[in-house]
Chains A and B, each alone.
Chain A
Amino acid sequence: MAENVSQDEGKTLSHLWRNKESRAVIIQIVTLVVILIFIGLILRNISINLKAIGKDFNFDFLFIPAGYDITFQPILDYSPEDNHLWAGVIGIVNTLLVAISGIILATILGFTLGVLRLSSNWLINKMSYVFLEFTRNVPLLLHILFVHAIITHTLPIPKNAISLNDTFFLTNRAIYLPEPIFESGFWLTAVAFFAAIVFIYYFKIWAKKTQDETGQIYPVFWISVAALFGAPIIIFLVSGSPLSWGIPVLKGFNFKGGLAIRPEFIALWLALSYYTATYIAEIVRGGILAISYGQTEAASALGLRKNRVLQLILIPQTLRIIIPPLTSQYLNLTKNSSLAIAIGYMDVVATIGGISLMQTGKEVETMLIVLLTYLFFSLLISAIMNFFNRKIRFKER
């Protein structure tokens, strides 16, 4: 009898293991337990080690004065008397600034390069090919150091600045641009700009509805362009051009006034952008090539014009292919911006994760902040791109 029972039990166990659904549940439970044990061990290890060197885990250090200088703080003001928290915020803003401007430039460069790669012109085709392969196969860090070295070693000191029309000045300390000074009444132009965006949004909906109902087709693209540029320009001129430029002027050893763009920012921004652009170019090229020429032929044979073929057939299909890999390139760019530390650009790693860490000795806490910052931005980018992806996905209607 006893033998029988154990045999039966053996059967049910092996049966459970062979059943596809129950096996999946078992594997998941085992995995979860292993992960929880692993995390528990790490946390235990941390608390033991912190205790051993006499440290505790808290974020009080954030509120003591940081005491160090941040060379690049274009948006928010910071001085060494401010606390570590504010220094961290400045760092996060700097990371965001280079990530966003990098994503914009990388997208423009990447799409252009991708199209150039498809050119039937031998010279253009081969030149873009060589640039792509050269750039992609050299580490990003070298590109950053390379651009930084070019700016700091080849540009002159402010006294001998290269002047472009006496409004732009190139020096090894910074590149100086005229600063826009908004006078009272400029808000009208800003309002016109946002009003134009709202108008375009509703005009598109209205034009689609009208087309569905009557068949009438409006030149939505051109009307949108006209509204977006026309409305702000007209309001700007009518309200008496309420904008002037603060021109940088050499005073003593440096320039005063105007916008100063630090070489660290320019180097990081350019290197990140053109490096990522080479990957985007390949994605764009692949996306365009993936659509068979038969699609264009079929659409043309139906009598659709070239611009409509592009708008209705080619672009929707290409976007579907390129948006997911494009997202990972944007994420790469954002995370690669942490190489900023190599040239002294004060991003989140250099401020809270660098100098603040050194000064306070709070490794776990500061690294946690840096980690969560990148995680947050990455998830944010993913969420935005997924939103676009969902918008253009196949919809069963």
Chain B
Amino acid sequence: MTEVQTDQNQVRSSREDDDIIQIKEMHKWYGEFHVLKNINLSVKKGERIVICGPSGSGKSTLIRCINRLEEHQKGKIIVDGIELTGDLKHIELIRKEVGMVFQHFNLFPHLTNLENCALAPIWVRKMPRKEAEEIGMNFLERVKIPEQARKFPGQLSGGQQQRVAIARSLCMNPKIMLFDEPTSALDPEMIAEVLDVMVELAEEGMTMLCVTHEMGFAKRVADSVIFMDGGEVIESNEPNEFFNNPKSDRTKLFLSQILAH
């Protein structure tokens, strides 16, 4: 896996110990609609950030901009020293380093769980199949479902599917993991098994950005919590301060709604 990292040095401009993600004065529009307004965010290596906010606040759009599933129109996004522009080579390099987990898993239904995991190592990292499948098995073991390797995603429960999806991303050995509401589509009893995997990952020092409403998870692992509303970052603080001493009224209202039950 190491030989792949060398070809990034050509396009990398900043130093290793800088922030791994830098977003500067970033704006995004959907046609006339201003979705993201002047976003400034920097994430250090190993930092765990939880992004929350009411629906439609732009939190998913924000993390989808980081691997260019959405295009930003103004400002800068620099990931691992590579600036995100229309340059396909840059996008490809960044996507190799950034894993993403989706709300609806988006596993490939025509491939087995192991093939789902091995696909990108084989076709992007150009790995021999045996090696790729070993890595796949390794991560399926990490998410505690090696026995499901040769089944198809459709044969698994939601929680298991999401764990396969996490394993699939990890097989690319990413430096950053993005989670887009990973537990929102799950039955309550399956949320825990997915959060356990995420907590474990956080404890190993993975750089993580999670859009989630799981406040317990935020309190437990987040280095900082960001609250967004109306396309803006309203408040960003470390979790204790954020939950016990929110500054803005909008944050207070949101927290009172989400923590009421």
Contacts and interface: CB of A to CB of B under 8 A. Distances in A.
Contacts, number: 81
B122 interface: yes
Interface string B67-87: 101000000000000000000
Contact of B124 (A216, A304, A394): A304
B119 interface: yes
B152 interface: yes
B122 A215 contact: yes
Interface residues of B, number: 35
A297 B102 contact: yes
Classify chain A: how many residues form its interface, as a range: 20 to 34
Interface string A215-236: 1110000000000000000000
Given A300-B95, A301-B67, A304-B120, A216 B102 contact: no
A320 B110 CA distance: 9
B152 A394 contact: yes
Contacts of B27: none
Closest 10 CB pairs of A and B: A298-B106, A302-B120, A294-B106, A212-B129, A301-B100, A303-B95, A303-B124, A303-B96, A215-B126, A215-B128
A394 B108 contact: no
Given A215-B127, A301-B100, A397-B150, A295 B67 contact: no
Contacts of B109: 317
B57 interface: no
Given A308-B123, A394-B152, 20 more contacts: A211-B122, A211-B129, A213-B129, A213-B130, A215-B128, A292-B104, A294-B102, A297-B69, A297-B106, A298-B100, A298-B106, A298-B107, A301-B95, A301-B100, A303-B172, A304-B120, A304-B123, A305-B92, A317-B108, A396-B151
Interface in B91-126: 92, 95-96, 98-100, 102, 104, 106-110, 112, 119-120, 122-126
B172 A302 contact: yes
A298 B102 contact: yes
A155 interface: no
Nearest to A320: B110
A215 B95 CA distance: 20
A217 B123 contact: yes
B92 A294 contact: no
Nearest to B131: A215
A372 interface: no
Contacts of B120: 302-304
Where chain B touches its partner, the secondary structure class is: loop
Nearest to B98: A301
Interface in B148-176: 150-152, 165, 168-169, 172
Contact of B150 (A211, A312, A396): A396
Nearest to A317: B110
A299 B152 CA distance: 17
B119 A295 contact: no
Where chain A touches its partner, the secondary structure class is: helix
Contacts of B129: 211-213
A157 B154 CA distance: 64
A214 interface: yes
* Most chain B beta carbons < 10 A, residue from A295, A298, A301: A301
A302 B128 contact: no
A109 B112 CA distance: 34
A55 to B, nearest CB: 57
Contacts of A343: none
A313 interface: yes
Given A294-B104, A302-B169, A212 B128 contact: yes
Contact of B108 (A295, A300, A301, A308): A295
A300 B120 CA distance: 10
Nearest to A212: B129
Interface in A291-326: 292, 294-295, 297-305, 308, 312-313, 316-317, 320
B87 to A, nearest CB: 14
A214 B131 CA distance: 9
Contacts of A297: 69, 102, 106
A299 B102 contact: no
24 contacts: A212-B128, A212-B129, A215-B131, A295-B108, A297-B69, A297-B102, A298-B107, A301-B69, A301-B99, A302-B119, A302-B120, A302-B168, A302-B172, A303-B120, A303-B124, A303-B172, A304-B119, A304-B120, A305-B92, A312-B123, A317-B109, A394-B110, A396-B112, A396-B151
Contacts of B119: 302, 304, 312
Interface string A28-46: 0000000000000000000
Contacts of B131: 215
A118 B110 CA distance: 24
Nearest to A216: B126
* Most chain A beta carbons < 10 A, residue from B106, B119, B131, B169: B106
